[in-house]
Amino acid sequence: ERLGALLRAMPKAELHIHVEGSLEPELIFALAERNGVALPYPSVEALRAAYAFSNLQSFLDIYYAGASVLRTEQDFFDMAWAYLQRAAADGVVRAEIFFDPQTHTARGVPMGVVIEGLHRACVQAQSQLGVSAALILCFLRHLSEEDALQTLEAALPWRDRFIGVGLDSSELGHPPEKFARVFARAAELGLHRVAHAGEEGPPAYIWGALDALHVERIDHGVQAAQDAALLARLARDRVPLTVCPLSNVRLRVFPDLAQHNLRALLDAGLCVTIHSDDPAYFGGYLLDNYRLTFDALGLDAGHARLLAANSIDASFAAPTDKARWR
């Protein structure tokens, strides 16, 4: 109906998408065959049936297993290109795509293979889809800061191929302060900075991302609702929260979409945006996240325009592009 059509048509920015989380089971099997990699699942259906998660870690275990089929530059291109075509169909005009280089370099895949394959898909997205696409290099927080520092240095020959750094993987037990030096180094290099915080972790991790890492956006951040002073800080500084509703339900952060706090965060005056996180694993791409959340929370056309405009504002796109999309 009309709201559904509006949600698709509005120019939107996708700011919280892990490219490895866009790897559909069909492509996992195709790449496994192409590369001669053995998978511990007999079929696409058996793999998909394993996508029943009880928390973040239970998802991450299967997500890293899926990523193990990626070996060549063409594999990284194919994965990112499949995602970008789906994003374009959902009305995405700008995509800032997370990638996890340590997941690949630890298996012996060279940094250049990862970055060049993803970059080629971003370039083709602009020319063939009219989608502006950029890369954000994420550090795995379950690994050491020393490993993150070495990863950033190893990526510097491709410094112009990514716009920022992020922080993802297992949150609990790995507070932002652990990565203060590598984020300071990223700032020196002129890179944008974002971090996952307050997905499963406490409000203190969101404070830490702001004050120790000096991030420009918080990924997830839904646990901020527990801390009134933090809500006031996020509203005052207009720090965007990149919220991923279907992810939050699949990883049991909320029991169902109807109990998601997205509307409460908007009502508290925060710059909230909607994204897909790991769409191949969580049951939907960007437009599915919008439509299902709007249905469950009774949001209207005014919310639609606000959330889409927030996503453009919160992006790291050039001001001239932002003006065109608003």
Angle at which helix 73-89 crosses helix 25-35, to 10 degrees, equals 160
Q: How far is the CB of 314 from Zn ion (least distance, A)?
A: 15
The verdict on whether residue 119 carries a ligand-binding annotation is no
Picked from Zn ion, ligand HPA, none, the partner binding residue 78 (CB below 5 to 8 A depending on kind) is none
Judged by CB under 6 A, which of 12, 18, 86, 260 binds ligand HPA? 18
Query: Could you confirm whether 199 is annotated as catalytic?
Result: yes
Contact call for residue 174 and ligand HPA (CB under 6 A): no
> Which candidate in 33, 199, 200, 216 is catalytic?
199
Residue 168 in marked binding region? no
**Residue 73 within binding range of ligand HPA, rule CB under 6 A:** no
**How many CA within 13 A on the CB side of residue 14?**
35
277 is in an annotated binding site: yes
Q: Which of 277, 282, 293, 322 binds Zn ion (CB under 5 A)?
A: 277
Among 12, 21, 31, 148, binds ligand HPA (CB under 6 A): 21
Residue 247 within binding range of ligand HPA, rule CB under 6 A: yes
Which residues face 135 on adjacent strands? 97
Helix, strand, or coil here: 164? strand
Closest to Zn ion by CB, 39 or 243: 243
Instruction: Give the β-pairing of 217-220 and 132-140.
Output: unpaired
Q: Are 187 and 214 in contact (CB under 8 A)?
A: yes
**Which member of 75, 96, 168, 212 binds ligand HPA (CB under 6 A)?**
168
* Strand ordering across the sheet containing 132-140: 12-18, 92-99, 132-140, 164-168, 192-197, 217-220, 241-243, 272-274
Straight-line distance from the first to the last Cα atom of the chain, in angstroms, rounded to the nearest whole number: 23
Report in angstroms the alpha-carbon separations of 223 from 108, 243, 276: 36, 11, 18
Residues with catalytic function: 199
Residues that bind ligand HPA (CB under 6 A): 18, 21, 56, 63, 168-169, 196, 199, 247, 277-278
Task: Please report, in range form, the residues annotated as the binding site for substrate.
Answer: 278
